[in-house]
Amino acid sequence: MAEYLKQQEIIPQGEKRELRETVSSIIEKVRQEGDGALKEFLRKFDGVDISELKASNDDILKAKKELPVTLLEDISFSIERIQSFAEAQRRTLTEFEQEMIPGVHLGQKVIPIESVGAYVPGGRYPLLSSAQMAIIPAKVAGVSNIRVCTPPTKDGVIHPAVLFAAHQSGADEIFSVGGAQAVAALAYGTESIRPVHKITGPGNRFVTEAKRQVNGVVGIDLLAGPSEVLVLADQTARAEYVASDLLAQSEHDIDAQGILVTTSRELGLAVLAEIEKQLETLPTAEVARASWKRRGQVILAETLEEAIAVTNDLASEHLHVQIEDAYNHLDKFKNYGSLFLGENSTVVYADKVCGTNHILPTNAAAKYTGGVWVGTFLKVVTYQRIEQEGVNQLAPHCVRQSNREGLIGHLRSANIRLTGKLDIESEVVEEVSK
């Protein structure tokens, strides 16, 4: 039976209720007051007074000039990697039409969503990679209008790297709005921000709760955030690698979660010690330490099979497997947002530049969904083309089933195409009812 070497703290239910109520009030204010509410929240939450919410072409050009050449090169490199993978995914989705039985032609169309809202987190760090992850797959899918919302810096402008990365990734409009209020604006629209059909992108607990509350008014990709990582490690793993991987996600947010599941007590204790050691020199230690203290876990399993069962049950956003011959165990892992095999496959490569998407399911949602991909922005829809030969085969079955269900309107719609009459003969009704 698994043993906890470290457990997470319990989040009070009252805290969750307060979050729901706060977000609900923000959404309603944006619905009622539009841009005025957005500007009021910018003053209240971001400490800035902004007259124009939408970034201009001049703003984008200025942002580019402020960025070093190496950063521009990094942005181009990651865009190429993410775009290439999204294009490879897109090629797996195909349209077809097939004559399933004589006279019955059924088909599949793959249609891009018309408008998408991409939320790009700001807060403590400028997450330019999140702009790329939310925008590029949508662009590859063929979305015709992509609207981006991202919080401004304390100077009242969008961080230059985020602004330029969003533009280069294919954003059509970029707005200086963050938090739950940005989600509300994308869902319901304001004077400046037209409503979209689907909202994508990660965020803090307020953004995630807002997406949950507007789901149905618009589509959402998934409830992504705060960040999670689960490292599965055996006695061959290096404590310093594991500790750095856990802290890399913990530094995102005080609500982020790092979990170690291990078959080695010695490694588990070594990682606990190594985390404290690395925190001493980590510039983001204030956030990472709070996150690790609040939500970090170290779970000791008796066998590798039990450890794998634990990881499948927890269904973490990122699953990093640092065990001997990790790739040979690939098919045993069932529930994860994205899987990282071997000690060199650190999550941060996927967070930034390797090409797979980092907008992934959290809170065990990996049990029923994967992360954002090019298919997130496509609708796979069906169509039918039925000739008289097909009517002759389909209609008798449909008439009998409709009659048994008492749906006579259905019966008539099927029968008139078979016999030219609305109703079937009484003796036939008796026969089909048997």
Domains and CATH numbers, the chain: 13-222 (3.40.50.1980), 226-370 (3.40.50.1980), 388-433 (no CATH)
What 8-state DSSP symbol labels residue 54? B
pLDDT of 293 > 60? The answer is yes
Catalytic site residue 251?
no
Q: State pTM to two decimals.
A: 0.91
* Active-site entry in 159, 167, 252, 318: 318
pLDDT at 204: 84
Sheet holding 297-300, edge to edge: 3-6, 297-300, 257-262, 228-233, 318-322, 338-341
**Secondary-structure breakdown of the chain: helix, strand, coil percentages, each rounded to the nearest 5:** 50, 20, 35
Closest CA to 307 of 363, 252, 261, 272: 261
Average pLDDT for residues 250-279, to the nearest whole number? 96
* Active-site entry in 209, 251, 274, 317: 317
Pairwise CA distance, residues 135 & 95, whole Å? 24
Q: Are 130 and 37 in contact (CB under 8 A)?
A: no
pLDDT at 214: 98
Q: Are 48 and 156 in contact (CB under 8 A)?
A: yes
Report the 10 Å Cβ neighbour count for 387: 12
Instruction: Please give the backbone phi and psi of residue 88, each rounded to the nearest 5 degrees, phi first.
Output: -65, -40
| H helix runs in 91-193, sequence order | 128-141, 160-169, 179-188
Instruction: Please give the backbone phi and psi of residue 142, each rounded to the nearest 5 degrees, phi first.
Output: 105, 15
Catalytic site residue 318?
yes
Q: Are 198 and 218 in contact (CB under 8 A)?
A: yes
Average pLDDT for residues 15-42, to the nearest whole number? 96
- Local confidence band at 26 (pLDDT 50, 70, 90 cut-offs): very high
What's the pLDDT tens digit per position in 201-252? 988 889 999 999 999 999 999 988 789 999 999 999 999 999 999 999 999 8
Q: Are 162 and 178 in contact (CB under 8 A)?
A: no
The residue count for the chain: 434
The per-residue pLDDT of the chain, averaged, comes to: 95
pLDDT of 427 > 60? The answer is no
Percent with pLDDT over 90 in the chain: 90
**CA torsion, ordered 403, 405, 409, 410, to nearest 10 deg:** -80
**Which of 53-67, 116-130, 196-210, 401-415 has the weakest average pLDDT?**
116-130
Q: Are 422 and 412 in contact (CB under 8 A)?
A: yes
Percent with pLDDT over 70 in the chain: 97
**Which of 148-152, 205-209, 263-267, 334-338 has the weakest average pLDDT?**
205-209
The string of DSSP letters for 184-245 reads HHHHH--SSS---SEEE----HHHHHHHHHHBTTBEES----S-EEEEEE-TTS-HHHHHHH
Report the 10 Å Cβ neighbour count for 328: 10
Pairwise CA distance, residues 201 & 398, whole Å? 44
pLDDT of 22 > 70? The answer is yes
Pairwise CA distance, residues 252 & 90, whole Å? 30
The DSSP H or E segment spanning 252 is none
